[in-house]
Amino acid sequence: MIVYGKNAVREALLSEDPVEKLLIEKGNFDKSLNELIKIAKTKNVLVSFTDKRALTDKAGTANHQGAVLIKGEFEYCSLEDILSLASQKNEKTLIVLLDGITDPHNLGAVLRCAECFGAHGIVIPKHRSAVVNGTVIKTSAGAAEHILVAKVTNINDAIRELKQKGVWVYAADFDGEPISSTDLTGNIAIVIGSEGDGIKRLTKELCDGTVTIPQFGKVNSLNASVAAGVILYECVRQRCGSKK
C-alpha cells in the first residue's frame, strides 16, 4: 500500500505495521520531513531520496507533501474484534456502520471523526464501498492507523449480530428523533448512509430506531462524514455528562 502526506506517513511509521520504504522529496528541507527520516531510521526503515515528479507518480497525486511510504496492505478486523476492544476497555460500545460510502475522502474523514471521538471501530461492506487506501489514510490524517475497520459481507447481517449482542442500532436519517433527545449512553451503533442514496430501506427497517440531526439552513442534508462527526460528538457529550 502507498501512504502519502506528512501526517499519514508519520502515523504509519509509528504504528506496529511493517514498512518497506520511506521516499522523501530530494532537496526538500522541511523540518517535518526531517522528523520522518529520524523516525524511519530508529525503526530501521529504508529511506530513499527522489525527485518530486517520481513521488507524484508513486502517490498518484501531487498532494504528497514530499513524503511517500510503501507498506503492507491495510489489515481489516472482524466485527468481533471491535466488540472485544470495547469490552477490554470496559466501555460502552460505540460503532459506526457505513452503508455504501463510495467516496474515499468521505471514508477517510469518517475514520478521522470516529478516532477523535473514541469510537471502537468502523464497519464497511465488502462491495459497493470505498476501501482503505492511500487517499483514505491521507484524508484521515493518519487516524486509520489507530482505529479498527471491519469489512463485512453484508451490513444487514452485521446489524443483526450487533442486536443479538445487546448493541442498540440507530439509523441516521431525516425522519427520526433528534439526537439530543435520544439516549446514546448505552451500547450504540450508528448507521450512516451513502452520499447519494442514503440508507437502504431494509437496512433502516432492521435498525432499532432513527436519529436526526436538527437542521435550520436551506440546504437540507449533511456530508456523511460531517453527520458522523455531529452524532459521535453527541454520543460523547451524553456519556461525559452521565459520568458527573
Q: Where in the chain is the domain with CATH 3.40.1280.10?
A: 79-242
* C-alpha distances in Å from residue 169, one per residue of 97, 113, 128, 153, 163: 9, 19, 21, 18, 7
* C-alpha distances in Å from residue 236, one per residue of 29, 165, 229: 40, 22, 11
Q: Where in the chain is the domain with CATH 3.30.1330.30?
A: 2-71
Over its length of 244 residues, how does the chain's per-residue pLDDT go in tens digits? 999 999 999 999 998 888 899 999 999 989 999 999 999 999 999 999 999 999 999 999 999 999 999 998 889 999 999 999 999 999 999 999 999 899 999 999 999 999 999 999 999 999 989 999 989 999 998 899 899 999 999 999 999 999 999 999 999 998 899 999 999 999 999 999 987 788 999 999 999 999 999 888 776 678 899 999 999 999 999 999 865 5
pTM of the model: 0.86
Class of domain 79-242: alpha beta
Give 2-71's CATH code, choosing from 3.40.50.300, 3.40.50.261, 3.30.1330.30, 3.30.70.1140: 3.30.1330.30
